[in-house]
Amino acid sequence: MLPRKSMTWVLLLLLLSPAIINLSTSQSDARWAAKKRRLRDKVHKMFYHAYDNYMIHAFPHDELKPLSKSFTDSLSELGNLKLERLPQDYSGSALTLIESLSSLVIMGNNTEFQSAVVWLSENLTFNVDARVNLFECNIRVLGGLVSAHLLATDSTDRLGKGVYKNQLLTLAQDLGKRFLPAFNTPTGLPYAWVNLKYGVMENETTETSTSGCGSLILEMGALSRLTGDPKYESAALRALRKLWSMRSSLNLLGTTLDVSTGEWIEHSSGIGAGVDSFYEYLFKAHILFGKEEFWRMFHSAYIAVQKYFRHGPWYHEADMRTGKATYWQLTSLQAFWPGLQVLVGDIAAANSSHREFVYVWKKYGVLPERYLLDHQMLHPTEKYYPLRPELAESTFYLYQATKDPWYIEVGESIVNSLNLYTKVDGGFASIRDVTTMQLEDHQHSFFLAETCKYLFLLFDDSFLVEKNYIFTTEGHPLPVLSSWHDRLPETYIQTNRTLLKTGNQAQRTSSMSKQVCPPTTFNSWECSGQEVESACHVPDARGDHRCLTDDECGVDSSNCRRRSCSMAGYCGLWLFI
């Protein structure tokens, strides 16, 4: 037996231990909160260093050239013309200002937001002889105006009384009307380029990308809901339906196509450039508008991506006709994918891919535009980093889903790299070559619209408290409103739903409708009956589960893990037993 004195110390320690643990936890939480505030303030300074330099040296033109402290009108083919050579009716579209509107709100600067809204209301015009890229103008300008209008008219009264009278919506509608001539094609697929004053020019190219004609539904759909005029949403929806009808028997799409003939030009595709936002907008349109049609498209497309593009944590490119791999490469735009998977609920897969992107970021200090997976080396020419936001975006989503402090550390690494390698006296410059960190004289507008925004939200998400937004592919927030959702008849039964027993009642539910995958993450009372099929499920090639190679095995429906072929020739989770 212990001496009486020793017993006393043991009892005292037992009594004090819970208090010590609670104190330690409290101190740890306080340290993390202080760290997040410090990083938030650092991002706040980054944003205003970029924004203030734009306003001083480039406004009202499109984008800032931070090294020379000048400007470029990059949105149209007027880009790089000197001021004195611009048409008399062209004064710039103030692209970076439009892109910054929602960021100003998120960072709490309602005064600057109001000033920007007033200036745009009085000065911005789209009646100019300028040939613009439809996709870029849609996601940047139309999306920026629609989002800012919704922020200006929400319940927070952030603008002074009588200041705002729907001027941004009027501008958005004017721009939307100027988009419509691009859709006058035999297929309904829009031209990639349109002149804001004269419509589609003679001998205009008929080549466009999958993203270019399949990523218009959020902005144009929102414009229709706000104005009550269905023609914008109808044009975008017709194009999306036509594009989906062109998929292969494997539910894969190519990268480029002809809008006149409806024929594919480039049959190889992946989840990166030219295709990325197509997948993103299918699912986000389902959330924003509640259409079952969008869900069906996305679910089929997602399964096809998992089956034909995924290789462990990486995603290669493949031929849409055969599913055979074509290019084994990572592109920086692919870094959005883990963020989309978080919305789907496929957290394990999202985390796995995200960590590979972080590995490449840390290897070079930033994320190069293209990285050859089969050679584990940079692409010989595409070695640049134009301040892209996709990795910060996915980091934000994963932290929201997991609250794992590791993602805060990733965000800190991104912030430190941006300040170390890209910050200059006149703003933030793109990197021309990640091996030498040679800079390029360009500060893209998406640096303020997305990169700074997602980093700020990673460290301070107070803007999102008790609110429900989806972010467009350019980072512009759109509120999820029940009034925008399709009204379904009571007898309608969604095809992707499964019966779950809760007590004596059966409820209709699905992994995707709850945005959770795998379904094992449901609360136990929700899944006490039949298991729900996950959105990530890829069936085995054969119904009897026999196989010769791992390629004939799918992705497990209960936990989203890749199945493998055993020595006995059966698919299963053998690697996890």
Catalytic positions, please? 136, 276, 369, 390
Residue 555 is predicted with a pLDDT of 80
Phi and psi, residue 266, nearest 5°: -115, 115
Q: Are 431 and 439 in contact (CB under 8 A)?
A: yes
10 Å CB burial of residue 284 (0-12, 13-18, 19+) is: buried
Contact assessment for residue 146 and residue 226, using Cβ atoms and an 8 Å cutoff: yes
CA angle 57, 60, 66 (to 5 degrees): 30
Give the per-residue pLDDT at 4.
Answer: 55
Residue 262 · residue 189 · CB < 8 Å: yes
**Closest residue by Cα to residue 59 from 76, 83, 77, 84:** 83
Tell me what pLDDT residue 152 has: 95
User: Residue 27 has which token pair?
Assistant: 């101190």
Distance, in Å, from the CA atom of 408 to the CA atom of 494, rounded to the nearest integer, reads: 39
Q: Are 164 and 152 in contact (CB under 8 A)?
A: yes
User: What DSSP string runs through 121-151?
Assistant: HHH----S--EEEHHHHIIIIIHHHHHHHHH
Burial group, residue 298, by CB count within 10 angstroms (0-12, 13-18, 19+): buried
Burial of 330 (0-12, 13-18, 19+ CB in 10 A): buried
What's the CA gap between 148 and 102, in Å, rounded?
Answer: 6
The verdict on whether omega for the bond into residue 186 sits within 30 degrees of 0, i.e. cis, is no
CB atoms within 10 A of CB 228: 6
Give me Rg for the CA atoms of the chain.
Answer: 26
Tally of residues, the chain: 577
- Contact (CB, 8 A) for 394 and 338: yes
User: Which distant-in-sequence residues (6+ apart) come within 8 Å of 48 by Cβ?
Assistant: none
Q: Which residue has the tokens 């109808």?
A: 234
Q: Tell me whether residue 377 is exposed, middle or buried, using C-beta atoms within 10 angstroms of its C-beta: 0 to 12, 13 to 18, 19 or more.
A: exposed
Determine contact, residues 381/342, Cβ cutoff 8 Å. Answer: no
Whether the Cβ atoms of residue 313 and residue 250 lie closer than 8 Å to each other:
no
Profile the chain (577 residues) by mean pLDDT over runs of 10 residues. Answer: 54 55 67 94 98 98 97 64 38 88 97 96 95 97 98 86 92 98 98 97 97 98 98 98 98 98 97 97 96 96 96 95 95 97 94 95 96 89 96 97 95 98 98 97 98 98 94 98 74 40 41 38 38 62 81 74 75 62
C-alpha distances in Å from residue 224, one per residue of 124, 177, 292: 21, 11, 19
User: What is the sign of the dihedral through the CA atoms of 414, 420, 422 and 424?
Assistant: positive
Structural contact between residues 327 and 266, judged by C-beta atoms closer than 8 angstroms: no
